[in-house]
């Protein structure tokens, strides 16, 4: 498997207003074209956080543990539509109530994203798809003790520190 470099993404301003469109390849080649993504942090009722393992074939942060659900907003799709689609595609989750956390700009050496972050509490079945290299629930203390050790994506670590480290 590999990412489709021709997939079309909307280009947005920092308020989320669409200003154009570009391919995944263009968005991830260092151009810093701002494109929207969704994150869903899935907690169980015990307070543990589900994290996905990024497969080694991913073009960004391969092999790292990351946000429960994360994906790009496709051209012509709303943030809410993308959130539901990605949760279904990545974890097989259909019935959940997302609570908005924040939105912010994340910039790395390869890309610049407008991140719309949500959380939910979910105790149903989770079935990680072939898009992922599996996943599991992590006790919050285990996450805290692994921060800064190159276990997680930088974006997850930032979001955890700013939003989730209660």
DSSP 87-133: HHHHH---S---EEEEEEEEE-SS-EEEEEEEEEE--S-----TTSS
Backbone φ, ψ for residue 126 (5° rounding): -125, 125
The pTM of this model reads: 0.91
Classified as helix, coil or strand, 71 is strand
Q: What is the pLDDT of residues 76-100, one digit of tens each?
A: 999 999 999 999 999 999 999 999 9
> Quick one: 37 exposed, middle or buried, by C-beta within 10 A (0-12, 13-18, 19+)?
buried
| Residue labelled with tokens 């539901």 | 84
Q: Which residues, including other chains, have CB under 8 Å from residue 84's CB and lie 6 or more apart?
A: 94
Task: Label residue 166 by pLDDT band (50, 70, 90).
Answer: low
Terminal C-alpha separation, the chain: 37
CATH architecture assignment, domain 8-164: Alpha-Beta Complex (3.90)
Task: Report whether pLDDT(152) > 80.
Answer: yes
Spans of all domains in the chain: 8-164
Using an 8 Å Cβ cutoff, are 161 and 147 in contact?
yes
């Amino acid at each position: 498997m590999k990412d489709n470099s021709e997939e079309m993404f909307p280009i947005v301003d920092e308020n989320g207003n669409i200003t154009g469109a570009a391919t995944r390849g263009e968005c991830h080649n260092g151009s810093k074209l701002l494109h929207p993504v969704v994150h869903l942090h899935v907690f169980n009722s015990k307070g543990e956080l589900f994290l996905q393992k990024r497969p080694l074939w991913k073009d960004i942060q391969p092999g790292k543990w990351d946000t429960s659900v994360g994906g790009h907003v496709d051209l012509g799709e709303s943030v809410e539509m993308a959130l539901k689609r990605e949760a279904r595609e990545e974890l097989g989750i259909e019935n959940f109530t997302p609570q908005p956390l924040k939105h912010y700009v994340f910039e790395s050496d390869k890309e610049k994203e407008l991140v719309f972050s949500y959380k939910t509490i979910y105790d149903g079945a989770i079935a990680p798809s072939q898009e992922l290299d599996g996943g599991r629930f992590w006790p919050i203390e285990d996450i805290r003790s692994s921060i800064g050790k190159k276990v997680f994506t930088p974006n997850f670590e930032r979001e955890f520190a700013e939003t989730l480290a209660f």
